[in-house]
Amino acid sequence: MKNKLILVEGLPGAGKTTISKTIKQIFHKQNIKSKLFLEGEIDQPADYESVAFLNEKEYEETIKKHPENSKIIEKITQKNKKGYLLNYKEGIEFFLKEENKDIFEKINKKDIYELPLELHQELILEKWDEFSKKLKNEDEIYIIECSFIQNPITYSLIREGASEKEVMKYIKKIEDRIISSNPLLIYIEQDDYEKVFKNAVEERPIEWKNFFIDYYTNQGYGKENNKKGLKGTIEVLKKRQEIEQKILNNLKIKYQIINNSNYNISKTEKRLEELIFNFNKITKNN
């Protein structure tokens, strides 16, 4: 079996999560073993969620300062080439205690999505390396949301203000690591994305809206280009959409665009069934 990976991408609110779950259901109906990883899930196989990185010195200092908690810290820690990965969400009950607030704040500042761009990318690429090796020995098909385009472009462009060229180069490096698994990318698009995003803002909690606008306008690309408020956020999203289209045009891996403008899940499911039928046919022939 050669084809073992389906990537689901698209802008916020486009319908990625619903379509990812639908793909999983289709595989289930066809008695095909598959694993689904949605955005933000702790056990992401090709990304990190609530994981901090400490170098040798930082890790040793943490253990020395908190000897009474060393066993708990060691339990959630994994050694890697450059230092230590701490899955602090696994120890969240420990970190939420008032007496452990200090250590949690220190570790949280070292979250992989808070690191300098170069180190962050290096760790993410290592994760993709590990995942691509794992895929070779897997019988199940992996369905992964957001890790291939959204997370890399959000961190590089939106947070760090990396150039379009740098973003595309980074995603090309990820592609190089998975191309041998012959993945399928399903990209979700909307005809009127501005309307879609405004609807999402109205439907979601005010805290989500405030966080999203702050993230997109007060750092990286948004800050450098003086984008403000909801209008500025939509302008940054349109820039992201423009770059994502260029990324699609330059990919070597297979991709299919699903137009989800009407949110007609039954119609979309039929289209997905066709794609998965062909994907499964190729899988059986490899």
Q: Which residue has the higher pLDDT, 71 or 149?
A: 149
266 Cα distance to chain centroid: 26
Query: Is the pLDDT reported for residue 284 higher than 60?
Result: no
Rounded to two decimals, the pTM is 0.91
Separation in Å, CA 6 to CA 200, 212, 255, 269, 275: 25, 27, 10, 15, 11
Give the H/E segment covering residue 188: strand 184-189
Domain ranges of the chain: 5-46+116-284, 51-110
Tens digit of pLDDT for each residue in 162-175?
999 999 999 999 99
> Would you tell me how many other CB atoms lie within 10 Å of the CB of residue 165?
8
5-46+116-284 under CATH 3.40.50.1100, yes or no:
no
Q: Which residue has the higher pLDDT, 187 or 81?
A: 187
Tens digit of pLDDT for each residue in 9-22?
999 999 999 999 99
Tens digit of pLDDT for each residue in 42-97?
899 999 999 999 999 999 998 888 888 888 889 999 999 889 999 988 877 777 78
